[in-house]
Structure 1
Amino acid sequence: MRDRGVETRYARALMLAAREAGELDGVAESFVGVVAALGQNPALVAFLEGPQVAHDEKTALVRQLFTGRVEATLLHFLLLLIDKNRVQHVADIQREFAAMVEESQGLSRATVVTAVPLPEDLERDLAARLEKLTGRRLLLTKTVDPSVLGGVRVTMGDRVIDGTVRTNLDKLRAQLFRTNVR
């Protein structure tokens, strides 16, 4: 099992530094772009993680690539990851950081699964009800899965509200098999 302590510590440090610099939203947006760029360039990641490459070469390349393109706070953070040999954790740190930013802004993520796309009015109604239930603003991710047959399944963190036809049929089937018929 992976220790998430590294990601949490570094994400928290970036959060505090970005907030103090007044760059929280910009850093959050730029960090997504940096991770996407690294994900699209495995050779760059190998270069930055490689022990055979001198530290000064790594920092020079990061400065060349990102100076003027990302906030100073994020640039310094990326250089810190190189200094501490933590580049391999950058994507996990970014995910943890994004979650912390959303939390600080009173946002939560929810995944909504339906058999067919929801009409806009039902989607707005569902979002409003979920926001009232949680007391938070929600960022909805919608997924269509015909196997649920009908209804809605909502996942928010470790909480699941499952009102799908598939789940109800499965419960009914299990109940029928448990019932002794004589």
Structure 2
Amino acid sequence: MRGTSGASLEQARELFEPILRDAGAEALELGRQLYTVVGALDGSATLRRSLTDPSRSGEDKAALVAGVLGGFDGRVVDLVSGLARSRWSEAVDLANALERLAVDAVLASAESRGALETVEDELFTLGRGLDGSREARQALSDDSVAPDRRVALVAEVLHGTADEATAFLAEQGTRALRGRRYPQVLRWLGEVAAERRGRLVASVTAAVPLTTEQQERISAALESAYGRAVQINVSIDPEVLGGLRVQVGADVIDSTIVARLADARRRLAG
């Protein structure tokens, strides 16, 4: 999210962060309520337009928020009211911003309990586990499957052993796909968790397991390039044949044999 919408989100995050620190473990409930607001916005184009209409006054939109969110935590009402007063490039950006703030709240609750690293690891482990189950990936990414069935499948995979923040985010991620596939949602959640810990996430795909020395070399190279600590998450995919595919955010370095063969075919065809 960039431009006007990105600036509005960053301002909201800056103002919301002290509230999350004060809330401690209670921030999980704030996250739950914010996800409810996201669902309401996703389900009502009229509400989205009403809260992002630049021709309406900020006070008018804040009054609408107060009316819609009667019974919600005052901190959530204040946050959403402030966002409604802000400017958005597109109506959908408001819901996207609220989803990010909801994730921030859930992760802040885990952080207050010293469980943030655990949540990050569990999200990655869940995503890696799904790599070996095409059927599960498809079911959890299929909007035609009832949301409650998808949530039940996630709960079954987690076996009731995950941190409560992990379980909530993992289940919410499939309940509200928002046009994404489930593995994509998990990767994004992991990146947000890593960012909260002051780290970047590098998703590395290889044909065979990497040695500790190889992972350390990749980590050092990426930390030098980005100037920040980098969390290396390695996935194994025999279909890449050889080489590595490294993704850090939107940046992709693909040196796999499959990618090189595809590039060679394009050159020959051209």
Question: CA shift at 1:174, angstroms?
Answer: 6.2
State the secondary structure of the residue aligned to 1:100: helix
Which is worse superposed, 159-168 or 2-11? 2-11
Q: Deviations over 1:68-88 (max 9, x none)?
A: 1x2100101111122333594
Aligned to 1:62: 65
Amino acid of the residue matched to residue 85 of structure 2?
D
Unaligned runs of 5+ in 2: 111-115, 137-156, 175-180, 192-201, 205-233, 243-255, 262-270
TM-score normalised by structure 2 residue count: 0.44
Tell me the number of residue pairs that the alignment of Structure 1 and Structure 2 aligns.
154
If asked which structure has higher relative contact order (CA below 8 Å, sep 6+), I would say 1
Quickly say closer, same or farther: Cα 1:144–1:41, change in 2 above 3 A: closer
State the secondary structure of the residue aligned to 2:56: coil
Quickly say closer, same or farther: Cα 1:92–1:114, change in 2 above 3 A: same
Quickly say closer, same or farther: Cα 1:37–1:15, change in 2 above 3 A: same
1:28–1:101 Cα contact (<8 Å) kept: yes
1:35–1:94 Cα contact (<8 Å) kept: yes
1:114–1:144 Cα contact (<8 Å) kept: no
RMSD of aligned alpha carbons: 4.1
Query: Which structure: greater strand fraction?
Result: 1
State the secondary structure of the residue aligned to 1:45: helix
Query: Which structure: greater helix fraction?
Result: 2
Unaligned runs of 5+ in 1: 129-136, 146-153, 176-182
TM-score normalised by structure 1 residue count: 0.61
Amino acid of the residue matched to residue 2 of structure 1?
R
Give 1:46-85 correspondences, 5 Å limit.
46-68=49-71, 70-85=72-87
| Aligned residues with identical type, % of pairs | 16
Give the one of 155, 158, 163 matched to 2:236. 163
Give the one of 109, 116, 132 matched to 1:114. 132
Give 1:8-19 correspondences, 5 Å limit.
8-19=10-21
* Structure-1 separation of matches of 2:58 and 2:182: 47
1:117–1:144 Cα contact (<8 Å) kept: no
Give 1:31-46 correspondences, 5 Å limit.
31-46=34-49
Matching of residue 93 in structure 1 with residue 137 in structure 2: no
Aligned to 2:213: none
* Structure-2 separation of matches of 1:51 and 1:66: 21
Quickly say closer, same or farther: Cα 1:30–1:168, change in 2 above 3 A: same
Aligned to 2:28: 25
State the secondary structure of the residue aligned to 1:67: coil
